[in-house]
Structure 1
């Protein structure tokens, strides 16, 4: 099973996210990640959905998405060159004795420490999912107290765009 990243341009209306998620659920497709936010065009939002499946499954998903009234455009981003990023906030246990060690782990990932408390630190990282996974695993032995990830957001490289 391959991972696929799909960009969906939709009308910015209540219930659109629920209808899209429902479509995936009814068809038995899993959503690995979904992000939604305003697009460059007023009144439209962009959803970036990461799912797994073969090419036939993704073709089916795309066709079903096009049938939804509030869907304007659907494009599979992973079929070509794309830029994909995720944001991580991770609270890790750290007393004064382990702060330097944790800083040394965080630095090569170009992550930053955004908060320091008496017994914890919050690390912020941006990158592809594999980078976020690797940093998380390296910090796990210190004791992860809380973790939040945005999910993947992406766009195609070069001149190609997903516009209305």
Structure 2
């Protein structure tokens, strides 16, 4: 008997191509908040040289039925040109950038936290973009799980502050939205 996936919960990375005009982002966010849907990540930027169109990347989660409702409701908004569920339509790339501040002053124990923070940053390919005698700011790009893992490793070393961009996503190969 075929399995019914309508109640299975999943994450979705949805890209929306829109006219770049005032109020469109508010309408998209209003669609989510008005129906009680959560936005896990949101990025938006112009994608054409003349600035007339923008791409909105939204990461959300829900049952298959809820995701389909979100896509249908987004598709009905004016001035939306295209809605694509990158997580369902085939292989895609998703990356996020973050800066993370770790405060670990020199201590009499030889600065274990500082050395460990630098060692882990190297292992995760994070760049030091600011350093002082008491802190580091690391810049890192990768998928969400990688960034989350780095954050958890930095917590006991003096994690002080995090700033993340949200997910930027694009289909692999020749597929476009």
Same fold (TM over 0.5): yes
Structure 2, unaligned runs of 5 or more: 1-8
**Structure 1 outlier segments of 4+, above 6 Å:** none
CA distance in 1, matches of 2:172, 2:145: 19
How many Å apart are 1:70 and its aligned residue? 1.5
Alignment correspondent of 1:153: 168
2:95 aligned counterpart, secondary structure: strand
TM-score (norm 1): 0.95
1:83 aligned counterpart, secondary structure: strand
2:105 aligned counterpart, secondary structure: coil
Structure 1, unaligned runs of 5 or more: none
How many Å apart are 1:144 and its aligned residue? 1.5
Alignment correspondent of 2:142: 127
Query: Structure 1 residues 118 and 152, CA, compared in 2 at 3 Å: closer, same or farther?
Result: same
How many Å apart are 1:94 and its aligned residue? 2.1
Residue pairs, 1:9-158, within 5 angstroms: 9-40=17-48, 42=50, 43-79=52-88, 80-96=90-106, 97=111, 98-158=113-173
CA distance in 1, matches of 2:81, 2:49: 12
Question: How many residue pairs get matched?
Answer: 162
How many Å apart are 1:41 and its aligned residue? 5.4
CA distance in 2, matches of 1:65, 1:153: 18
- CA RMSD of the aligned region, Å? 1.1
TM-score (norm 2): 0.88
